Amino acid sequence: MKKVLLITLLLVMAVFVMAQRLTIVHINDTHGHIWPEGEYGGLAAVATLINQVRAENPNTIFLHAGDINTGVPESDLQDAAPDIVALNLMKLEAMAIGNHEFDNDASVLAKQMEIANFPFLSANIYKDGEPAFQEYLIKEVAGIKVAIVGFTAQETEILEYLYAKDYEWKDVIEVAEEIIPELEAQADVIIALTHMGSNPVLVGPNSWELAKAVDGIDVIVDGHSHTFYERPEIINETIIVSAGEWAKNLGKLELEIVDGTVIFVSFRNLPVIAEEIEPDFAVATVLDYFKKAGGEALNIVVGETTIKLEGDRGVVRAQDTNLGYLICDAMVWKSGADIAISNSGGIRASIEAGPITYRDILTVLPFGNTLYVVDVPGTSLREVLQFTATREAGQGAMPQVSGVTYVIENGEAKDILVNGAPIDDNKVYKVATNNYLASGGDGYEALAGLSGYDTGFVLADVVVEFVGEISPITGYQDSGRITRK
Ligand SMILES: [Zn+2]
């Protein structure tokens, strides 16, 4: 009896020695949404949840799958410093580099990496033949060696027209095929921290295709497509998870590591509901401070004009104006598109002569619309411009344009020139617009359903950046793009 008990005890102990519980908590695509917002509690509430998970299991790793930048003015204006300081306090282990980490020039990214206590990981971004960023880290958790390797969507090269082209965007599968076996030799668990998404992408694989193509990845913690996972996707023995967007959820994946084998235990996206979660005091205090600083920062001067930039409702909905041109020019500048088309209904105010503040531009463009690029065949472009020719003064659908000139006469769009050349029906033009029109909003149905992509750039931010480039504004073209006869 005694002997049996002892053997049982030994067996139980042996199981405990070999099996280790590893918990991964993760967020992605926070985009500056770090403060409480509506029903969601922000990062201070996330911190409380993570503390609870860590109390249950000290062998917990906290990861961010990329895109901290762009989406909330108070964060954007401080170059996501509030986000990073909060993530430092929350002891983030590592972050994948997302495409939006290239929304600003390289000096901003460098500064962000400097204040972060965690590495920004990506193994497939190269510069001068060398990896441009830290590729991976290996961490020992209760005797288990865990490798975390970053990968970034190759389509970043296209999405981030301005600041991603200084890098070489390597094929993720090729890089992974080399690096994963190297990591397998050094670690028990391999986590790919990816910003690749599970939607169709413009170039390269998405995260599911990576899992399918490359053996040996135990877990993929993904971001980019803002996908909420009800349960993990399991492909080629790789467990794939993601936590939606904006820190609305905290992903919690529990694994058991038995003799180097990774066993799935459970997964849940925990909702970060403000009402139910006491905010973590330290994180909340720091974020409150930054929120105030960000609010004051909205008053910072981003440029200067000596002329009025016309956005008065009655004017901008009747004709093309210098402000309409400026906004459309900014869209072309940021996206590299051939032309831009915007709706006057999105322009909500003028900018008076004098210094221009960030707040002024948010007043002009308050909707948080994003910059969208659509591939528009010449024939469809004709249709779009023809539609604009039938709009009447006062309608929000009245157009503002860049890179194209045309004449409207008797409800007909004619003499269409694209960057000075007659429109070519057989050519496909890259047209920058906003996400609203790209989905066919305001009657722009000819734009809906065409191939294209959302750059994720907030239009107001694009204009802020462009105004900074061209200031002081002492004159701006204010007629001649759309001629009404
Ligand atoms: Zn992204």
The DSSP code sequence of 430-455 is EEEEEHHHHTTGGG-GGGTTSSEEEE
Cα 72 to ligand 1 centre (Å): 15
- For the stretch 210-254, pLDDT in tens is 999 999 999 999 999 999 999 999 999 999 999 999 999 999 999
- Say if residue 50 is in the same domain as residue 82: yes
| CATH number of the domain residue 172 falls in | 3.60.21.10
Give the integer Cα–Cα distance in Å for 409 and 485: 5
- Cα–Cα nearest to 28, from 265, 228, 285: 228
Residue 5 has pLDDT above 70, yes or no: no
Q: How many domains does the chain have?
A: 2
2 is a domain residue: no
- Cα–Cα nearest to 356, from 472, 462, 237: 472
- Say if residue 254 is in the same domain as residue 326: no
3 is a domain residue: no
Cα 198 to ligand 1 centre (Å): 11
Give the integer Cα–Cα distance in Å for 327 and 407: 21
Two tokens at 297? 């920062």
Residue 395 binned pLDDT confidence (cut-offs 50, 70, 90): confident
* Residue 272 backbone zone (phi > 0: left; psi -120 to 50: alpha; other: beta): beta
- Say if residue 216 is in the same domain as residue 319: no
Where among 239, 273, 296 does a domain terminate?
296
Cα 69 to ligand 1 centre (Å): 9
The DSSP code sequence of 168-228 is EE--HHHHHHHHHHHHHTT-SEEEEEEE--SS--SSS--HHHHHHHSTT--EEEEESS-PB
- Say if residue 153 is in the same domain as residue 250: yes
Cα 393 to ligand 1 centre (Å): 38
Tell me which long-range contacts 231-238 makes (C-beta under 8 A, separation of at least 24).
231/267, 232/264, 232/267, 233/198, 233/208, 234/264, 235/208, 235/211, 236/211, 236/212, 238/192, 238/211
Residue 161 binned pLDDT confidence (cut-offs 50, 70, 90): confident
- Say if residue 265 is in the same domain as residue 357: no
Cα 26 to ligand 1 centre (Å): 15
- For the stretch 319-337, pLDDT in tens is 999 999 999 999 999 999 9
Residue 176 has pLDDT above 50, yes or no: yes
Give the integer Cα–Cα distance in Å for 403 and 332: 8
Residue 18 has pLDDT above 80, yes or no: no
- Say if residue 290 is in the same domain as residue 308: no
- For the stretch 294-316, pLDDT in tens is 999 899 999 999 999 999 988 99
5 is a domain residue: no
Q: Mean pLDDT of all residues in the chain?
A: 94
- Say if residue 206 is in the same domain as residue 232: yes
Cα 257 to ligand 1 centre (Å): 31
| CATH number of the domain residue 433 falls in | 3.90.780.10
Where among 246, 270, 296 does a domain terminate?
296
pLDDT at position 368 = 82
Q: Which residue has tokens 């992509």? A: 453
pLDDT at position 403 = 98
Cα 29 to ligand 1 centre (Å): 6
- Cα–Cα nearest to 455, from 80, 100, 73, 27: 100
Cα 195 to ligand 1 centre (Å): 6
What pTM was computed for the model? 0.84
Q: How many CA atoms lie within 13 A of 292 on its CB side?
A: 5
Residue 292 binned pLDDT confidence (cut-offs 50, 70, 90): very high
Contact 402, 325 (CB under 8 A): yes
Cα 159 to ligand 1 centre (Å): 9
The DSSP code sequence of 52-84 is HHHHH-S-EEEEE-S--SSS-HHHHTTTTHHHH
Residue 11 binned pLDDT confidence (cut-offs 50, 70, 90): low
12 is a domain residue: no
Cα 223 to ligand 1 centre (Å): 7
Cα 31 to ligand 1 centre (Å): 9
Two tokens at 264? 């799935």
Residue 9 has pLDDT above 80, yes or no: no
Cα 55 to ligand 1 centre (Å): 31
Residue 57 has pLDDT above 50, yes or no: yes
Cα 467 to ligand 1 centre (Å): 25
Strand, coil or helix: 403: coil
- Say if residue 68 is in the same domain as residue 215: yes
Give the integer Cα–Cα distance in Å for 284 and 43: 8
Cα 413 to ligand 1 centre (Å): 38
Where among 242, 267, 296 does a domain terminate?
296
Mean pLDDT over 421-431 rounds to 97
Give the integer Cα–Cα distance in Å for 369 and 196: 23
- Say if residue 100 is in the same domain as residue 65: yes
Cα 6 to ligand 1 centre (Å): 55
- Say if residue 281 is in the same domain as residue 312: no
- Say if residue 362 is in the same domain as residue 288: no
Residue 16 has pLDDT above 80, yes or no: no
Cα 279 to ligand 1 centre (Å): 27
pLDDT at position 259 = 84
Cα 385 to ligand 1 centre (Å): 31
pLDDT at position 397 = 92
pLDDT at position 17 = 53
Mean pLDDT over 457-483 rounds to 96
Cα 95 to ligand 1 centre (Å): 13
217 is a domain residue: yes
User: Using CA of residue 165, residue 27, residue 37, residue 280, what is the dihedral sign?
Assistant: negative
pLDDT at position 2 = 42
- Say if residue 103 is in the same domain as residue 56: yes
10 is a domain residue: no
292 is a domain residue: yes
> What spatial distance separates the first Cα and last Cα of the chain, rounded to whole Å?
104
Cα 350 to ligand 1 centre (Å): 32
- For the stretch 178-208, pLDDT in tens is 999 999 999 999 999 999 999 988 899 999 9
Mean pLDDT over 116-142 rounds to 97
Give the integer Cα–Cα distance in Å for 74 and 393: 36
Which residue(s) pair with 242 in the sheet?
Answer: 222
Contact 334, 371 (CB under 8 A): yes
Mean pLDDT over 61-78 rounds to 93
The domain containing residue 82 runs over which residues? 18-296
pLDDT at position 442 = 87
pLDDT > 70: percent of the chain: 96
pLDDT > 90: percent of the chain: 87
8 is a domain residue: no
Residue 156 binned pLDDT confidence (cut-offs 50, 70, 90): very high
pLDDT at position 394 = 86
Kindly list the distances between the CA atom of residue 259 and the CA atoms of 7, 19, 264, 482, in Å, as whole numbers in the listed order: 21, 7, 14, 71
Q: Which residues surround ligand 1, an ion (CB under 5 A)?
A: 67, 98-99, 224
Contact 141, 22 (CB under 8 A): yes
